[in-house]
Structure formats: structure tokens, C-alpha cells
């Protein structure tokens, strides 16, 4: 009996040892399976693993990320391979590598449209925007100038994009400014432009008196940090002048900070206060849904005091906004998110359609292993009434094409087609043409048959609403 008991004990001990061995092996296998391999810092595998982990947490479309990925690919190629098909605007850059940036005209300070001209059939460039104190302005370029040659090469339909790329990839280039003489384009002067530093652009503001009304006009290039605070002087002038209406010119404004858009709204609309809901962010399951008040959005970075904005507030019930296909991101937030507060009349063209927001994601580890910086779409945007969904752009209430009347006028001149239409909306009357015969002659000589490319619209494609969440 004792011998049998001993055999049973040895057998039980044997099976118990096997059981614990099996559990240990299973645990080890599971641990090895779950544990991610470690890759050398700076390697494509290391960078791409960080990209994927970040996207799984923040990316709006994180639940549809593809599987079976090649993590040995170059980081930009990898990032583009995992972007959702509906994602038009997310991007990734390496701040230490300029080749990873999308080329643009920011270092030169001008934008232009390339058109096919109706009368002569010739392809010509029209300068649309020249930034103040920029290489372009210092070289003498002006809004409304015409270009017929780039680096000595005549503009054509076939080479328009190639010549634009030459500008973007160079530090120095030459433009030939042309003029139309007896239905023939002739060279006027050669302009050389080199890359240079461009400071923040100030607003253009003025008071226009028309048909007994005082109308405020405000042109803004972007929504850079500190804008709302800098606008308090202009709005103080509007209040002192006793304006009854405001025209907000965002035709080339490709956006920027939500905070500055909120600050501008606080300067314009009636019935505003700190706690008024302003914007709703809808993210993935991790981000959830967040509604932010007007005051919180406008003051999060401490650049402006909300009471200061309220002191300059115009208390308007209606605003007229000038927009084009280059009007994007934070500019569209202004258009959409003012609507619960007041009547918004959009004049011009359908806007770009950026109803999404991003924030910068970089490696927060110490020491940092990844030098890349991501700007993925994190949120879809809605106003305080829950209205958003303008990815196809916001349609104008009053359609106007600024190229319908040439030459282009300077910002704030009442003969500008967009501004003229806005003033007509304010007063209910058509604006009499200034020097009508000259205007009709120039319009008859020069008309747009086809727009081939627009550098400002291309720049708007790379802009994203920037939020602090």
C-alpha cells in the first residue's frame, strides 16, 4: 500500500512539473509574440513603428489602418501607404531635411494664376498676391502684373507646370513682365527674384462709404498666432467710425490657428460671451467628441485677453465674406462657425473644403529616437449647431469670379469684382463704374478662356486647421 502511494505521489509530481513547464512555455511564447522587436534608432523600421503606433492612437481613420505593412520602407512612402483613401491633407516631414517639405512660394512672397487668354490664345501668368516686404515686392512685382516668360522660356499650356516647378525648386529665377499692346503681348521688363525672409503680414483695413453707409473692409492673409490681438486696433477704428456692416476678405487665406479664428469671431458677432459654444471636434474612439467654448478657444495660448476682444466687439448680425478656392481650413471655420451667431453671406467661389483638424505629433521620448514630425488628420469639425461636413467646399451665396474683370484691382478698391458685389449686397444697389470706358476697353481686350494652374490654390492644399488639443 505504501509503495503504491509513493508511485502515485511521484506520478502526480511528474504531471505537476509538466503542467508548470507547459504554462511557462506558453507564457514565454505569448510574451515573445506580443513583444515588439527593437530596431536601431533612426532606422526606417524604428521610425515607421513609431508612425504606426501614433496613428493607432490619434488618426481619425485609425480603425481602417492596413495590415501586412512594409516597415522597411522610407518613412514618407510608409506614411503615404497607410493614409486613408479619404484623407487628402495629412502629411509628415523631417524638420532637418528640406527635401521632405512640399515646395511653395513662401520664400518669394507672391502667387499667380496661369491662364489661357481668350483674345490672343496665348498662355499668360497673372500676379494675384504680392506679400508686403517680400523678395517679390522688393523686386517691384504688383498684383495685376502679367508674366509671359519664366527663366527666359515662353509660357505655354505644355510647360506651365514645369516652369512653376522650376520656381519652387530654385533659389533664384527671372520673370518677364508683359503688357498687351494692340492684341499682342510684348515684353515690358525683366524681374529677378531670390529667396528671402518674409515677416508676418499685417491686415488691410479701411472704411468705405457708399450710398450713405459706412462699411468696414478687412483683408487677412492667414490666421497666424497673435492675429486676434493685433486686430483690436483695427476693430477699435471700425467702432469709432460707426460702421454698420463688415466685409471680411478671406479670398487667399489658407488658414492657420483655430484660436485666431475664434478670436476674430469674438470681435464680430453679436451676443458673444466666454462660455458660448464655438467648435466641436469629433475624433476616433480615443479622441471622442469635444465641444469648446468661444472664450476657451480664443485664449488658450495666452496671446489675447477675452475681455479686450469683447470691448472691441462690433455686435453685428450680418457679415459679408469674400472667398475663393484658395479659402481654406481656419477661414472655413470662420464661415461655418459664425453661422449660429449671425447671418453669413459668402461672395465669390466655392471654398477649398477642409473640415478637418490636425495637431503636430513628434517623438516625446528622452532621448528622442525619431526626428520626423507628423500632421495627421485627428478631428472632423462642426459648429455649435452640429453643422459641418463641408469637405466639398462651402458654396457661395453670391457667385463671382474675380478673373471675370481684368486687370486685377488692388485689395480694397471698389472696382474689384468681389468687393463690388459685396458692397452691392450691403447697399442693395449696383456700384457705378469708375472710368467706365477705360474699364470696358480693358475687359474687352483681355478675357480668361481657361485657368491652367493657381499657385495659391496649390498652397491651400497643404494647409490644415491647427488645433491645440
Do you know the residue count of the chain? Answer: 469
Q: What is the pLDDT of residues 218-267, one digit of tens each?
A: 999 999 999 999 999 999 999 999 999 999 999 999 998 999 999 999 99
Distance of CA 151 to the CA centre of its chain: 30
pLDDT at 324: 97
Top-level class of domain 204-434? alpha beta
Q: Could you tell me the fold of the domain covering 110-194?
A: Pdz3 Domain (2.30.42)
How far apart CA 61 and CA 260 sit, in angstroms, is 27
pLDDT at 72: 95
pLDDT above 60: residue 328: yes
Q: What is the pLDDT of residues 419-439, one digit of tens each?
A: 999 999 999 987 654 444 334
How far apart CA 105 and CA 195 sit, in angstroms, is 9
Tally helices (H) and strands (E) across the chain. Answer: 14, 21
Q: What is the pLDDT of residues 267-302, one digit of tens each?
A: 999 999 999 999 999 999 999 999 999 999 999 888
Helix (H, G, I), strand (E, B) or coil at 166: helix
Q: What is the pLDDT of residues 170-222, one digit of tens each?
A: 899 999 999 998 888 999 999 999 999 888 889 999 999 999 999 999 999 99
The DSSP code sequence of 412-463 is: T-TTSHHHHHHHHHHHSSPPPPTTHHHHHHHHHH--EEEEEEEHHHHHHHT-
Task: Parse the chain into domains and list their residue ranges.
Answer: 110-194, 204-434
The mean pLDDT of the chain is 89
pLDDT at 105: 56
Amino acid at each position: 500500500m505504501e509503495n503504491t502511494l509513493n508511485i502515485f505521489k511521484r506520478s502526480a509530481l511528474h504531471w505537476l512539473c509538466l503542467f508548470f513547464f507547459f504554462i511557462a512555455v506558453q507564457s514565454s511564447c505569448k510574451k515573445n509574440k506580443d513583444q515588439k522587436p527593437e530596431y536601431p534608432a533612426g532606422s526606417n523600421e524604428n521610425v515607421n513603428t513609431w508612425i504606426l503606433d501614433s496613428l493607432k492612437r490619434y488618426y481619425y481613420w485609425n480603425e481602417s489602418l492596413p495590415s501586412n505593412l512594409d516597415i522597411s520602407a522610407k518613412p514618407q512612402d510608409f506614411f503615404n501607404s497607410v493614409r486613408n483613401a479619404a484623407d487628402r491633407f495629412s502629411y509628415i516631414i523631417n524638420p532637418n531635411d528640406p527635401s521632405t517639405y512640399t515646395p511653395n512660394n513662401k520664400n518669394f512672397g507672391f502667387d499667380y494664376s496661369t491662364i489661357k487668354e481668350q483674345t490672343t490664345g496665348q498662355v499668360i501668368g497673372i500676379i494675384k498676391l504680392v506679400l508686403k516686404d517680400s523678395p517679390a515686392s522688393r523686386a517691384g512685382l504688383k498684383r495685376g502684373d502679367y508674366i509671359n516668360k519664366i527663366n527666359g522660356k515662353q509660357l505655354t499650356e505644355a510647360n506651365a507646370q514645369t516652369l512653376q516647378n522650376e520656381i519652387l525648386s530654385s533659389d533664384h529665377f527671372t520673370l518677364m513682365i508683359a503688357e498687351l499692346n494692340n492684341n499682342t503681348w510684348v515684353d515690358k521688363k525683366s524681374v529677378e527674384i531670390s529667396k528671402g525672409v518674409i515677416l508676418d503680414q499685417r491686415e488691410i483695413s479701411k472704411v468705405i462709404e457708399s450710398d450713405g453707409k459706412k462699411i468696414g473692409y478687412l483683408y487677412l492673409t492667414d490666421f497666424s498666432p497673435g492675429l486676434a490681438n493685433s486686430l483690436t486696433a483695427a476693430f477699435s477704428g471700425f467702432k469709432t467710425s460707426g460702421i454698420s456692416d463688415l466685409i471680411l476678405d478671406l479670398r487667399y487665406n489658407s488658414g492657420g490657428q483655430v484660436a485666431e479664428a475664434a478670436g476674430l469671431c469674438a470681435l464680430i458677432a453679436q451676443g458673444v460671451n466666454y462660455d458660448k459654444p464655438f467648435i466641436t471636434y469629433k475624433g476616433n474612439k480615443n479622441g471622442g467628441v469635444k465641444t469648446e467654448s468661444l472664450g476657451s478657444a480664443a485664449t488658450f495660448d495666452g496671446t489675447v485677453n477675452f475681455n479686450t476682444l469683447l470691448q472691441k466687439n462690433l455686435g453685428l448680425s450680418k457679415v459679408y465674406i469674400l472667398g475663393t478656392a484658395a479659402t481654406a481650413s481656419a477661414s472655413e471655420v470662420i464661415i461655418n462657425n459664425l453661422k449660429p451667431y449671425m447671418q453669413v453671406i459668402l461672395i465669390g467661389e466655392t471654398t477649398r473644403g477642409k473640415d478637418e483638424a490636425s495637431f503636430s505629433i513628434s517623438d516625446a521620448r528622452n532621448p528622442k529616437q525619431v526626428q520626423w514630425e507628423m500632421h495627421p488628420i485627428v478631428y472632423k469639425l462642426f459648429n455649435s449647431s452640429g453643422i459641418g461636413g463641408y469637405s466639398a467646399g462651402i458654396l457661395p451665396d453670391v457667385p463671382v469670379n474675380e478673373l471675370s474683370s481684368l486687370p486685377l484691382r488692388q485689395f480694397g478698391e471698389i472696382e474689384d469684382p468681389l468687393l463690388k458685389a459685396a458692397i452691392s449686397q450691403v447697399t442693395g444697389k449696383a456700384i457705378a463704374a469708375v472710368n467706365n470706358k477705360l474699364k470696358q476697353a480693358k475687359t474687352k481686350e483681355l478675357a480668361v478662356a481657361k485657368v491652367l494652374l493657381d499657385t495659391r490654390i496649390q498652397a491651400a492644399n497643404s494647409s490644415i486647421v491647427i488645433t491645440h488639443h
